[in-house]
Amino acid sequence: MRTALLLLVLPLATVGCTPLDTGFQKPDTDEPVDTADTDTDTEPIDTADTDGDLDDDGFTPEDGDCDDDNIRVSPAREEDDSDGLDNDCDGRVDEEWSGFSVGRVDDNGAGSIIVLDTIGRDDDTVNLSNGCVPSWLDHYGEGWAISNGGAAVSVVDVAGTCTDLADFSDTEVYEYGVWGIATMPDGFGLDGIVLATTVTSLEGVAADGTVTQLASWVVDFEDIAAHEFAAVSAAVDPATGQVGLFDYFGGFGTWTPDGGLVVHRKGDWESPTLMTTSGAHRDGGGWYTQGTDATTGAMGVYQFDLDAGDWVLIEGWADDTWSPAQVAIDGDSGDFYLTANVSGIFPSVYRIVDGSGYAADFFRIETDYAGYFYGIATNYTHGG
Ligand SMILES: [Ca+2]
Ligand SMILES: [Ca+2]
Ligand SMILES: [Ca+2]
Ligand SMILES: [Ca+2]
């Protein structure tokens, strides 16, 4: 059995807020649709278009139109789950949200993955073999990839058979072990690669166990001036392949195969504002984290404002018996779901309805259960 969850020691400070940049683009309506056209030609509308929106659906490719030759494809469309198109341009084709996969670790060390449906029913519990522990998890083929207790990146099939792909337990090489993981979607040159954060680097783990370092940065817990970043979790925007890297002390970075690493906010361990262990990308736009205000201890969901270079509180609540672990987002509604552990009582998946102030248990185990929830990943079905 493996153990090794939270390894760093945390100092405290204050938090600042800036206005939310939702990233929403107003449709441009300056180009009326060919109203004078009375003939029966089959030419596309607006062939002389100069506003860059060829199909006149209100979005240019720069605005996020991922098919500028089809009005049923744009960020303003709902997804149709049977037409083979990514109607809403979130990088997922024919997707329908179907619930979550939740990593559970019992007090006796047994690891499992609970599969929840859209209203929080336990559809399945997959018990992991080989003493594997799902500290962080993401989808991998029909099963999952996990950060296995901080010591390995492992894959789990639907029957629960757990196989290590790559070992990260040698602290001479990986001082802090392996933390958050995320599976790269196909189409960005890293098909099937499991991204793994080691605090000091981003590593890519292939199906054959080969580990390739994708980025590294300066981690210096003696010298804050030299220190850059301490990334403990990763998430991917499936529309662009951009990777978000979430720092334990409130920093944030992005990485792309072509552009490399950009640190948008330094992780300040000397006077952190926000403490966090996971993050997620919302389908259609935005990087989010679950975190704790380092001064007040209040918990919240935050969005990263790339222009301001800071986190913006989206929803917050104060209950110091709660300890949020990780966050996932329902790609249909945008609501937030957090694994959380209530001191001495029970673990929960907590649901926060975006923009409503509503927050309550979505799923919990109440009867004679001792254990914790950790990793959480959003589940989708594809095709109607
Ligand atoms: Ca368009
Ligand atoms: Ca379009
Ligand atoms: Ca889609
Ligand atoms: Ca579709």
- In which residue are the tokens 């404002």 written? 305
How far, in Å, is the centroid of ligand 1 from the Cα of 61? 6
Return the minimum-mean-pLDDT range out of 137-141, 155-159, 233-237, 357-361.
357-361
| pLDDT tens digits, one per residue of 215-247 | 999 999 999 999 999 999 999 999 999 999 999
| Position 345 pLDDT exceeds 80 | no
- Are β-strands 260-265 and 274-281 bridged in parallel, bridged antiparallel, or unpaired? unpaired
Cα 306 to averaged position of ligand 3 atoms, centre (Å): 24
- On whether the CB atoms of residues 85 and 93 are closer than 8 A, the answer is yes
Tell whether the model's pLDDT for residue 14 goes beyond 70: no
Are the C-beta atoms of residues 286 and 21 closer than 8 Å to each other?
no
Name which of 147, 102, 108, 95 is nearest 124 in CA terms: 102
Least confident of 78-87, 159-168, 341-350: 341-350
Task: Indicate the pairing of strand 274-281 with strand 287-293.
Answer: antiparallel
Instruction: Between 217 and 366, name the one with better pLDDT.
Output: 217
204 or 51, which is more confident:
204
* Pairwise CA distance, residues 185 & 191, whole Å: 6
Whether the predicted pLDDT of 177 surpasses 80: yes
The rounded Å distance from CA 238 to ligand 2 centre is 18
Q: What is the pLDDT of residue 49?
A: 62
- Give dist(CA 149, CA 133) in Å, integer: 5
Residue 47: predicted pLDDT: 54
Contact status, residue 274 vs residue 292, Cβ threshold 8 Å = yes
Cα 73 to averaged position of ligand 3 atoms, centre (Å): 9
pLDDT tens-place string over residues 262-309: 999 999 999 998 999 999 999 988 999 999 888 888 889 999 999 999
Q: Report the separation in Å between the CA atom of 285 and the middle of ligand 3, taken as the mean of its atom positions.
A: 12
* CB-proximal residues (5 Å) to ion ligand 1: 53, 55, 57, 59, 65, 68
Is the confidence at residue 184, as pLDDT, over 50?
yes
Residue 37, pLDDT above cutoff 50: no
Fill in the DSSP letter of residue 172. T
Q: Read off the tokens for 175.
A: 């001082």
Q: Which of 286, 290, 287 has the alpha carbon at shortest distance from 275?
A: 290
Contact present, 362 and 350 (Cβ < 8 Å) = yes
Q: Is the pLDDT at 351 greater than 50, yes or no?
A: yes
Does the pLDDT value for residue 9 go beyond 80?
no
Residue 252 tokens, joined: 């944030």
Which ligand lies nearest to the CA atom of residue 61 in the structure?
A: 1
Closest ligand to residue 57's CA: 1
- Which helix (DSSP H) or strand (DSSP E) does residue 79 occupy? none
Q: Mean pLDDT, the chain, as a whole number?
A: 87
Taking the alpha carbons of 218, 221, 223, 227 in that order, is the dihedral positive or negative? positive
Going from the C-alpha of 55 to that of each of 24, 36, 83, the distances in angstroms are 19, 17, 19
Distance CA 250, CA 216 (A): 18
> Which residues are placed with Cβ below 5 angstroms of ligand 4, an ion?
80, 83, 85, 87, 94
Residues found in the chain: 384
pTM for the full predicted model: 0.85
- The domains of the chain, with CATH numbers, are 101-382 (2.120.10.30)
Q: What is the pLDDT of residue 162?
A: 98
Q: Which residues contact 130 (CB under 8 A, 6 or more apart)?
A: 161, 162, 163, 164
Q: DSSP class of residue 193?
A: P
The band of 365, judged by pLDDT with boundaries at 50, 70 and 90, is: confident
